[in-house]
Amino acid sequence: MQINEQMLWNPLRRLGFATDDLLSKGAFGAITGRAGVGKTSFLVQLALNAMLRYKSVLHISLDYPVKKINLWYKEVFQHLAKQSGIANPNEMWETILPFRFIMTLQVDGFSVPRLMERLKDLTEQKIFRPEIIIIDGLPFDGSIPGILADLKPVVAENLCAWFTVKTHRHEAPAADGLPTQLTGVKDLFEIIIALQPEGSEILVQALKGADPSCGRAVVRINPSTMLIQVAG
Amino acid sequence: MKFDLNKVRNIGISAHIDSGKTTLTERILFYTKRIHAIHDVKGKDGVGATMDSMELERERGITIASAATFCSWQSHEINIIDTPGHVDFTIEVERSLRVLDGAILVLCAVGGVQSQSITVDQQMKRYNVPCIAFINKLDRSGANPFRVIEQLNEKLGHTAVAMQIPIGLEGSLEGVIDLVHMQALYFDGENGETVLRKEIPAHLLDEARAKREELIDKASLFSDDLTNAILEETEITTDLLISAIRRGTLSRKLTPVFMGSAYKNKAVQPMLDGVNLLLPCPMDVTNQALDMDQDEAPVTLSGKPADPVVALAFKLEDGAYGQLTYIRVYQGTLTKGATIINVRSGKKTKIGRLVRMHADQMEDIEAIPAGYIGALFGIDCASGDTFVSPGINYSMTSMFVPEPVISLAIVPTDNKSQINMSKALNRFTKEDPTFRTYVNEETNETIIEGMGELHLEVYVERMRREYNAVVNTGQPQVAYRETITRKAEFNYIHKKQTGGSGQYGRVAGFLEPVPEEEFVFDNKVTGGTIPTQYIPACEKGFRQCLAKGPKMGFPVTGIKITINDGASHSVDSSDMAFQAAAHGAFKEGYAKAGAVILEPIMKVVVETPTEFQGNVMGSLNQRRGIILGSQEDGPQCTIDAQIPLSEMFGYSTVLRSLTQGKAQFTMEFSAYKQVPNAIGEELMKKAQEKKSKVA
């Protein structure tokens, strides 16, 4: 199935990222923002962009059931297909579906050894071999440095991992401009992107990892479709 | 007949196969004076000796397995509703669970939470049915009710709490201690019918106090008043404690656990008290219907007896006076002489006779108000039909009936079975719209069709059990379909001159795929090249071709045919000639339209203990499946996948051996999708082999 060029185009490139993949192998990326700004749907778009390029995405959710995550993917995909004028979106959806695996774990039940066990189940039996991992809903609290340190070697070889980081309205950013949740672990992240509400829209800001020479456009999230768009 | 909805309980009894459901039900019916003697399932007295529970019920003249058995306990009316024991996700299971407001989960004190307990618990969870637990068989060697409570918490994720503790165990079981009233209960009389309330034996007092503390502690999460009473150290009244436990039970966040031995006639009555005190009455439950005028949008029913009627016919039974239709009223009041409408057929019916199944007899009643269960005579309907007052168009179940995806040939073993099989099939097709039957004209075999292997297996088993019809079954067959993938033109002349008047017709146009429709016919003929009177004959001719696709003989679906030109002859053209021309045109176009085979893809959900997750995913992956995701929920894990039906035959056995019988799966039709080329070729090869054998 031929994938439409327009559908493949990643608007984040205009924010200063050189490649569609954004993250290099072994790297971590973070999407920060307050509750409800659209961190999950943002990551779903990154995942769909990868799936459309036949890259396998393992989406681990600690907040929502499989059904809900699946619905998110479907909706965002439909908006993307509509925006790109795809004639037969169902066929395309069926083509990319095998490139996604959703795993939901309870927050209490999340641990790196457990994740490794699940990954082993998937890869050893050739069920699914992820290239990108999304970890959505992991609390960035006192335990996070340990978890990230344990995760680094897991992704080191052939993977990269995206995290959502929930920030709070009442908390001011740290001196370096980054959310306090990332204090002490920021060096582990290659890219940090913030979703910042601005009036009725959500502004997408690259806090770390963007190269100004690759572009500095204003990127927003369309509140009605939740799609990432270049403003203007 | 007095109506007090607060005192009505519509409940199911769910149990693992050996946990004593039959004995417990028997004792319930005895203590509620529904039956007047107790017989032994295992059969020391000869009545129950060699019989299984179903036959035993028949022998006793009661029908535990009937739709709703009514009994009365402490001025409460209890309807015990049959809950099908199988796990297949069929309309029948859904319908039974809709009628329940609450349930008793029966567990064995020795076996504890076994795989089927997990199954029935999942069903309750799926339909949000509040339950109390009864740990049976405390008299058995190895009984340990507290281990079972732990398993309820660990394996099923309940917050289970003991309402009682046993006085003695195994052979020395004497009774139970009621932790709410802090009394010892003993059961006297020949059949334990007299409940004696005494002081707690001194040696059990400390344990009873500790367990009561635990009960109060867990119940306090559901009542601020109870929490305040604990903090202020004031007296905790029975009412306060019961109302907190009830609130927890109704929200499914607390499972009160009763215990005893039905076989030894111990502690069944306190469990019945528990049904009255803790399980919901119909008013505690919110019911939803689908508004058929608003594209099946969900509507919350008021449950008020004065509002328009919404009632569900949930089970049909053959009685001496014709068809008895069990009905549950969700809103309004069904009254004798009133007119109701069957939403499915649109047929108006006047209610002739209303009855309620009552201690060994049928009681004629004038009305059935919301929340109650009753039965109607002389109504022609199918199971699952919704009846409403004129003016509204609500349905309790979705009108969407999926097409069957699997078929099976059945052959009766003898003449008697043949007659009984016809009766059974007639009944089953009325009960379940997803179950269909027909006679194959080529092989003369009776074919049954349904939604899955297990679905058909259940009906074959029911034929044997309920209708004494023994049938041999063939190999299950998947209902493949054919469709086209591209537009193709046709221009076909049918011409025959074989003496007498000839046949002439030319049909031209094109066929193209329409994924969302079965068949669309579009007439774009202008200038009368095909005279108007022959257009229906063309359509008929094309329709006839759909039944058996040219590629492999499977039904054709998702096709649009447009005719835009043709020719006729003033003498030789006829309906017959244009039908034949349409056949030829279809074949001509179809050959160029990239025909493909479609197969049913099933949505499969496996629920398994986490330790088997990897094995289960592997087994699904081997079946050409796409695993959509896995979801961990405490010790259990749910795996969602899409798998071709043809790959799922025998999966229940595979799953059982992979998981020591601890996993279960449900399967429902999802969509038709194209068969991969390699599999398509294999199918072609098989079809050719079959053809050459016939030749």
Task: Note the pLDDT tens digit of each residue in B67-124.
Answer: 567 788 888 888 887 665 444 445 666 677 778 889 998 888 887 776 567 667 777 8
Q: In this structure, are residues B372 and B329 in contact, taking their beta carbons and an 8 Å threshold?
A: yes
- The model's confidence at residue B524, banded by pLDDT at 50, 70 and 90, is very high
What's the rounded mean pLDDT across residues B227-253?
91
SS (H, E, C) chain A: CCCCHHHHCCHHHHHCCCCCCCCCCCCEEEEEEECCCCHHHHHHHHHHHHHHCCCCEEEEECCCCHHHHHHHHHHHHHHHHHHHCCCCHHHHHHHHHHHEEEEECCCCCCCHHHHHHHHHHHHHCCCCCCCEEEEECCCCCCCHHHHHHHHHHHHCCCCEEEEEEEECCCCCCCCCCCCHHHCCCHHHEEEEEEEEEECCEEEEEEEECCCHHHCCCCEEECCCCCCEEECC
- The model's confidence at residue B209, banded by pLDDT at 50, 70 and 90, is very high
Nearest to B614 among A106, A121, A126 (CB): A121
What superfamily does domain B5-284 belong to in CATH?
P-loop containing nucleotide triphosphate hydrolases (3.40.50.300)
Q: Is the ipTM of this complex over 0.90?
A: no
Residue percentage of chain B with pLDDT more than 90: 34
Measure B398 CA to nearest chain A CA, in Å: 21
How far is Cα B511 from Cα B484, in angstroms, rounded to an integer?
Answer: 9
Cβ neighbours, 10 Å, residue B43: 13
- The model's confidence at residue B50, banded by pLDDT at 50, 70 and 90, is very low
Count of residues in chain B:
695
pLDDT of residue B556: 93
What's the rounded mean pLDDT across residues B590-618?
90
CB contact under 8 A, B617 and A104: no
pTM for this model (two decimals): 0.64
Q: In this structure, are residues B391 and B309 in contact, taking their beta carbons and an 8 Å threshold?
A: no
- The model's confidence at residue B64, banded by pLDDT at 50, 70 and 90, is very low
- CB contacts of A57 in chain B (<8 Å) are none
Looking at the structure, give the CATH architecture of the domain made up of residues B597-678. Answer: 2-Layer Sandwich (3.30)
- The model's confidence at residue B683, banded by pLDDT at 50, 70 and 90, is confident
pLDDT of residue A177: 82
CB contact under 8 A, A66 and B638: yes
Query: At B561, phi and psi to the nearest 5?
Result: -115, 125
Q: In this structure, are residues A75 and A2 in contact, taking their beta carbons and an 8 Å threshold?
A: no
What's the rounded mean pLDDT across residues B593-603?
90
What superfamily does domain B406-470 belong to in CATH?
Elongation Factor G (Translational Gtpase), domain 3 (3.30.70.870)
Q: What are the sequence ranges of the domains in chain A?
A: 24-195
pLDDT of residue A99: 93
How far is Cα B186 from Cα B175, in angstroms, rounded to an integer?
Answer: 5
pLDDT of residue B45: 47
Least confident segment among A76-85, A92-101, B19-28, B672-681: B19-28
Least confident segment among A89-98, A187-196, A217-226, B81-90: B81-90
pLDDT of residue B399: 56
Count of residues in chain A:
232
Q: In this structure, are residues B334 and B374 in contact, taking their beta carbons and an 8 Å threshold?
A: yes
How far is Cα B599 from Cα B517, in angstroms, rounded to an integer?
Answer: 16
Q: What are the sequence ranges of the domains in chain B?
A: 5-284, 288-395, 406-470, 485-594, 597-678
Looking at the structure, give the CATH architecture of the domain made up of residues B485-594. Answer: 2-Layer Sandwich (3.30)
Nearest to A125 among B614, B626, B629 (CB): B614
Higher pLDDT, B62 or B686: B686
Q: Looking at residue B220, what DSSP letter applies?
A: G
- Report chain B's mean pLDDT, rounded to a whole number: 84
How far is Cα B317 from Cα B325, in angstroms, rounded to an integer?
Answer: 6
pLDDT of residue B19: 67
Name which of B180, B168, B166 is nearest B274 in CA terms: B180
First-to-last alpha carbon distance for chain B, in angstroms, is 70
Nearby residues of B250 by Cβ (< 8 Å), 6 or more positions away? B130, B280, B284
Element spanning B297, H or E: strand B297-300
pLDDT of residue B517: 82
**CA nearest A88 in B: which residue?**
B515
How far is Cα B626 from Cα B605, in angstroms, rounded to an integer?
Answer: 12
Cβ neighbours, 10 Å, residue B339: 11
How far is Cα B521 from Cα B119, in angstroms, rounded to an integer?
Answer: 47
Nearest to B613 among A101, A104, A121 (CB): A121
What's the rounded mean pLDDT across residues A207-222?
78
Higher pLDDT, B302 or B561: B561
Whether residue B453 is predicted with pLDDT greater than 90 in this model: the reply is no
Q: Looking at residue B266, what DSSP letter applies?
A: B
Least confident segment among B40-44, B141-145, B303-307, B518-522: B40-44
- The model's confidence at residue B40, banded by pLDDT at 50, 70 and 90, is low
Q: In this structure, are residues A206 and A17 in contact, taking their beta carbons and an 8 Å threshold?
A: yes
Secondary structure E strands in B121-223: 131-136, 160-162, 164-167, 175-178, 183-188, 194-198
Element spanning B578, H or E: helix B575-592
Q: Which residues of A59-72 are buried (b: 16+ CB within 10 A; e: fewer)?
A: bbbbebbbeebbeb
Looking at the structure, give the CATH architecture of the domain made up of residues B288-395. Answer: Beta Barrel (2.40)
Whether residue B555 is predicted with pLDDT greater than 60 in this model: the reply is yes
How far is Cα B49 from Cα B39, in angstroms, rounded to an integer?
Answer: 9
- On the question of a common fold for B406-470 and B597-678, the answer reads yes
**CA nearest A61 in B: which residue?**
B631
Looking at the structure, give the CATH architecture of the domain made up of residues A24-195. Answer: 3-Layer(aba) Sandwich (3.40)
pLDDT of residue B4: 80
Query: At B381, phi and psi to the nearest 5?
Result: -155, 170
Measure A153 CA to nearest chain B CA, in Å: 22
